[in-house]
Amino acid sequence: PNSHYKCRNCQYPRGGPQRYAVPDDKVSWKTNYPEYAPPEFTSESVSSGPVWADPGVTEKGPPPLKWNTVHGKVNRVSHMGQYEVVNGLPQNPVGRTGIRSRGHLGRWGPNHAADPIVTRWKRDKNGSKVIHPTTKKPILQFVAIQRKDSGEWAIPGGMVDAGERVSVTLKREFAEEAMNSLEANSEEKEKIKKSLETLFSKGVEVYRGYVDDPRNTDNVWMETVAYNFHDDTGDSVGKFNLNAGDDAGNVKWTDISSSLQLFASHVDFIEKVAKKNNAHW
């Protein structure tokens, strides 16, 4: 389903070069493409060597990292199964992207994220569920944030820190991006934590795997675990004080339907949530 719609035949975001053109029938590594000559790009924020990034390629060659395993606290295992390592570097399991090296991503190979999809039913003034006139199904809403990097609306997801449990990432990223916890004082932080406790204790996994992220290259790619936290009565999310923070510039409850346009392949995860809750799509 993910054939690099967002990470192929376009300019690499924020200062990157134009990707080498890859037609649909040349995406697979199994297809010969002898003229394929993708440019290389690593952003300054990655090559400057922050803690969240791997070492780069040196005169000695690619860094000797332990591929396809969890090494120390760093998880280099893909949800997609074993990935190939070609000339010392991981190879994108979905195929060619038209660009090499790390771009804006810190880890060679899979870069693990988590996506919290917080939902409630759309209700009218009297508290009754709003039914879509055509599908006759109730309309679901989710908490969307507007990303500062691309301006696109998205799920408030983020990177799983080294050694961090996914359940912790889901809650932390929602608190940071949709409730601005990073700028809260300790009393407010406690309040935010409390308000999330009940809803985030009973999530349902809806997706685990590759993300069609615009930052992906032939050697680095995003993977995620997406969870749905659904508030059927609207009681617990009613207490949420939505407030954009960190890499989010805006936040809002957004009606779910098939006409949604979101960052990366987030629409695919939202569709699963709509179907699972038997909501309008």
Cα–Cα distances in angstroms (integers) from residue 74 to residues 105, 133, 139, 212, 226, in the given order = 14, 49, 40, 22, 20
* Residues forming a β-bridge with 18: 11
| Binding residue for Mg ion, selected from 158, 203, 214, 245, defined by CB under 5 A | 158
Q: Is 158 in the site for ligand RP5 (CB under 6 A)?
A: yes
Q: Is 109 in the site for Mg ion (CB under 5 A)?
A: no
- Write out the DSSP string of 119-169: EEE-B-TTSPBPBPTTT--BPEEEEEEEETTT--EE---EEPPTT--HHHH
How does strand 109-121 pair with strand 158-159? antiparallel
Q: Is 113 or 139 the residue whose CB approaches ligand RP5 more closely?
A: 113
| Binding residue for ligand RP5, selected from 178, 211, 237, 262, defined by CB under 6 A | 211
Which residue type sits at 77?
Answer: V
Q: Is 99 or 139 the residue whose CB approaches ligand RP5 more closely?
A: 99
Q: Maximum CA pair distance of the chain?
A: 68
Q: Is 262 in the site for ligand RP5 (CB under 6 A)?
A: no
| Binding residue for ligand RP5, selected from 224, 228, 236, 277, defined by CB under 6 A | 224
* Residues forming a β-bridge with 253: 143
In whole angstroms, how close is the CB of 135 to ligand RP5 at the nearest point? 27
| Binding residue for ligand RP5, selected from 170, 179, 196, 222, defined by CB under 6 A | 222
List interacting residues with ligand RP5 (CB under 6 A): 113, 115, 154-155, 157-159, 211, 213, 222, 224, 247, 264
List interacting residues with Mg ion (CB under 5 A): 158, 173, 246-247
